[in-house]
Structures are given as structure tokens and as C-alpha cells.
Amino acid sequence: MGLQNSLRHEHVRFETHVQILGCRPDVVLRSSRIALFVDGDFWHGRLLVERGMRALRRSFRKESQAFWIAKIARNAARDRTQTCRLRRHGWCVIRVWEREILKDPVAAALIVAKRAVERRQRLRRLGDS
């Protein structure tokens, strides 16, 4: 069972690939203002994010190093920019690595479902004030 099926199983209502503020999250929960991104380990630079530039540099051959490091660094920078933009406008941003989804999509869906309930309650309280 994949992430979307797991979310449906948890009765989470969502849309996919909706454009919000110039970003296109993989999953959007409008009622709780959650934008969920499933980041590919390679393309979004998991190695860079978790271990730094040195580890990323060591993972490529010299001939292709410049191209791939620039590409992955741009992707990671874009991810940070999008996260900041969405949060600045009141969205909760959840980023999950693809390996985590592949390992246990149900656990990921449970985390998202729990966060959605918390966010809806918080947004209701703010609306009542």
C-alpha cells in the first residue's frame, strides 16, 4: 500500500499536485493547510541535507561531480525556498524522504493524519478568537 492509499485508509481528504504560491506539493490537505512533499533521496539531496557537501562530493566521480552537485544543490535550495514561502503564508509543510515512504507508508500516513487533526483544531481555535 502506497502513501496515497494509506492516507485514504486513514480517511484523510487530500488533493495531489495542486499549485500553491508557486509551489506544487505532492499532497495538499486544504482543510488543515498542510503541504506534503515526498522528496526523492537522490534528486532532493538527502546526502547533502543529512551529511553535508563533503559527503555529496565524495559520492560522485570527478568527471560528473560539478554537474550533479550543482543540480542537487539547486534542488535543495529550491526546497528550502518553497518551504519558507509556504510557512510564511500559514501552511504547515511536511517533507518526507522517498525511502521512508517506501519503508513504511502507513507510518507516514499516520503522522500526516495526526498532524492534520492537530492543525484543524488549531485553525478552528484561531478562527474563534
Predicted confidence (pLDDT) per residue in 7-20, tens digit: 999 999 999 989 99
pLDDT band at 123 (very low <50, low <70, confident <90, very high): confident
Give the whole-angstrom CA distance, residue 37 versus residue 59: 24
pTM of the model: 0.89
Q: Which domains does the chain have, with CATH numbers?
A: 3-128 (3.40.960.10)
User: Cα 23 vs. chain centroid, distance in angstroms?
Assistant: 11
What is the pairing mode between strands 34-39 and 27-29? antiparallel
b/e map of 108-117 (b: 16 or more CB within 10 Å)?
bbbebbebbe
What pLDDT was estimated at residue 129? 61
Q: What is the mean pLDDT of the chain?
A: 94
Check if the beta carbon of residue 34 is closer than 8 Å to that of residue 119.
yes
